[in-house]
């Protein structure tokens, strides 16, 4: 095997200009794919992180049918305390769940005494919410990072539009599920930056204030946001949770709950999928580049070495070994290009990181791009390139191995 590699390396060096051109093509392709994967992956991960860690959580549990009518925030579809208790019991049995936060979601009138508008509010236990959404506090641009009873955190757009500051008193008026209206004065404790996506322009109140405004005798929860210890496991945990919850039936024998991952809850999932699709498309382009360039160079190599092929075949070299000689050449082209591309791509990603490039996403300003590339990506790209290079050299190599020595020796 070592001799096959030795001969292949020497043959590649023999046509050094052509080899360098092909290697450059593969290297540029690999570099481009790696940088794109690093930057787009970083963007995607950052956006998913923003969405899940400051708004949605990784998984949400609702009463069956709630999500379909979530725009109207129906209070009639909230979950009773005994049901919530049951769910909490289930959560405790799943070690992958790090934190959860029950929420009462409702729509209300919001008045600064001089102006009035509509607002969507989340009644939460501040500690549980902060544990479930660790980036929520970073979105609070002014005021306290937490919330106490009698306080409200309002979205930045409201504060700016209605000229409300931290410490001001506002009134929140809401209709409860029976149709009666109730109001409560609250002090603005903080102003939260708006975020792109569902819940990105919601305000926050303490859950007990929400109960009081909605005149709830017992705590009826609209949704429970769940944070997992390992984000990568959200599909597994979601499936596990869905299986457990599917056993919980109502009086009509239908499932009581629905569990959704962030993918189902956020429209950004489609953008994330598009990024993945683009990434696949670019990898396909890389495959095409490697396939065509390696095939081209190997076809040339076989054509130029027909007499040599004839000689080694006449000497008694078996067809399989002749095939291997050319396949090894193609493989070496691929793997060398992949290694060079990985080094160059990683260096570019490192430089991009040093430049600390920032960008805006919706109303979120100054998000810092932190491109990175994992060993899995590097190995995967190297593997793809190597396999494609071998595939690209197979046809010319097969042709070489099938050559009649007598015809090959006659070739001029």
Partner 1 sequence: MALIKAKNLVKDYRVGEVLIRAINGVSFEIEEASFVSFVGPSGSGKTTLLNLIGCLDSPTEGNLFVAGEDVKKLDRRQGALFRSKNIGFIFQDFNLIPVLTVYENIEYPLIMVLNIPAKERKERIMKLLDAVGMLGQENKYPDQLSGGQKQRVAIARALVTNPKLVLADEPTANLDHKTAYTVIELMKKMQDEFKTTFIFSTHDQKIVGEAEIIYTLEDGQIVDMKEGKGRGN
Contact residues toward partner 1 (CB under 8 A) are: 3, 7, 10-11, 13-14, 307-308, 310-319, 321, 405-406, 409
We find the least distance from the C-beta atom of residue 337 to partner 1, in angstroms, to be 21
For partner 1, the closer of residues 8 and 170 by Cβ is 8
CA distance 281 to 379: 18
For partner 1, the closer of residues 111 and 311 by Cβ is 311
Closest CA to 154 of 207, 208, 112: 112
We find the least distance from the C-beta atom of residue 405 to partner 1, in angstroms, to be 5
Q: Which two structure tokens, joined as six digits, stand for 396?
A: 């010319």
We find the least distance from the C-beta atom of residue 24 to partner 1, in angstroms, to be 22
Contacts made by residues 282-288, CB under 8 angstroms, sequence distance 24+ = 282/32, 282/33, 282/36, 283/33, 283/381, 283/384, 285/29, 286/29, 286/30, 286/32, 286/33, 286/381, 286/384, 286/385, 287/384, 287/388
Contact 77, 69 (CB under 8 A): yes
Q: β-strands 116-124, 203-206: how paired?
A: parallel
CA distance 348 to 333: 22
We find the least distance from the C-beta atom of residue 404 to partner 1, in angstroms, to be 8
Specify the 3-state DSSP secondary structure of 346.
helix
We find the least distance from the C-beta atom of residue 390 to partner 1, in angstroms, to be 20
Closest CA to 195 of 286, 273, 133: 133
For partner 1, the closer of residues 313 and 332 by Cβ is 313
For partner 1, the closer of residues 3 and 239 by Cβ is 3
We find the least distance from the C-beta atom of residue 299 to partner 1, in angstroms, to be 19
For partner 1, the closer of residues 22 and 196 by Cβ is 22
We find the least distance from the C-beta atom of residue 318 to partner 1, in angstroms, to be 5
We find the least distance from the C-beta atom of residue 8 to partner 1, in angstroms, to be 9
For partner 1, the closer of residues 51 and 325 by Cβ is 325
CA distance 227 to 271: 22
For partner 1, the closer of residues 8 and 237 by Cβ is 8
For partner 1, the closer of residues 198 and 405 by Cβ is 405
Classify residue 212 as left (phi > 0), alpha (psi -120 to 50) or beta.
alpha
Beta pairing partners, 275:
none
Q: Which helix (H) or strand (E) holds 391?
A: helix 375-401
Q: β-strands 257-261, 181-192: how paired?
A: unpaired
């Amino acid at each position: 095997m070592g001799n096959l590699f030795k001969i292949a390396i020497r043959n590649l060096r023999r046509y050094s200009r052509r080899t360098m051109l092909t290697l450059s093509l593969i290297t540029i392709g690999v570099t481009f794919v790696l940088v794109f994967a690093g930057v787009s992956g970083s963007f995607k991960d950052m956006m998913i992180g923003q969405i899940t860690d400051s708004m949605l959580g990784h998984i949400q549990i609702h009463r069956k049918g709630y999500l379909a009518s979530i725009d109207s925030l129906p209070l009639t579809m909230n979950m009773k305390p005994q049901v919530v208790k049951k769910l909490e019991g289930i959560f405790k049995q799943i070690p992958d769940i790090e934190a959860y936060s029950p929420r009462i979601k409702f729509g209300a009138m919001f008045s600064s005494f001089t102006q009035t508008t509509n607002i969507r509010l989340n009644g939460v236990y501040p500690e549980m919410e902060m544990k479930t959404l660790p980036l929520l506090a970073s979105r609070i641009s002014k005021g306290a990072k937490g919330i106490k009873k009698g306080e409200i955190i309002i979205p930045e757009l409201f504060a700016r539009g209605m000229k409300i500051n931290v410490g001001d008193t506002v009134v929140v008026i809401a209709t409860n599920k029976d149709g009666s209206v109730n109001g409560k004065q609250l002090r603005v404790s903080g102003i939260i930056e708006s975020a792109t996506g569902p819940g990105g322009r919601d305000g926050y109140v303490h859950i007990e204030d929400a109960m009081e405004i909605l005149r709830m005798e017992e705590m009826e929860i609209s949704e429970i946001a769940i944070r997992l210890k390992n984000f990568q496991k959200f599909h597994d945990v979601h499936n596990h949770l869905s299986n457990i919850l599917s056993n919980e039936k109502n009086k009509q024998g239908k499932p009581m709950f629905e569990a959704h991952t962030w993918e189902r809850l956020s429209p950004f999932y489609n953008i994330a999928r598009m990024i993945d699709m683009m990434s696949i498309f670019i990898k396909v382009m890389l495959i095409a580049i490697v396939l065509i360039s390696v095939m081209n160079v190997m076809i040339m190599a076989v054509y130029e070495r027909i007499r040599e092929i004839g000689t080694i075949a006449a000497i008694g070299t078996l067809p399989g070994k002749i095939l291997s000689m050319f396949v090894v050449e193609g493989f070496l082209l691929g793997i060398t290009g992949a290694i060079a591309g990985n080094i160059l791509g990683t260096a570019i990603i490192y430089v991009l990181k040093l430049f600390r490039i920032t960008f805006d996403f919706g109303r979120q300003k100054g998000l810092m791009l932190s491109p990175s590339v994992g060993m899995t990506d590097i190995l995967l790209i190297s593997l793809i390139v190597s396999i494609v290079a071998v595939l690209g050299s197979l046809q010319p190599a097969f042709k070489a191995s099938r050559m009649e020595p007598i015809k090959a020796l006659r070739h001029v």
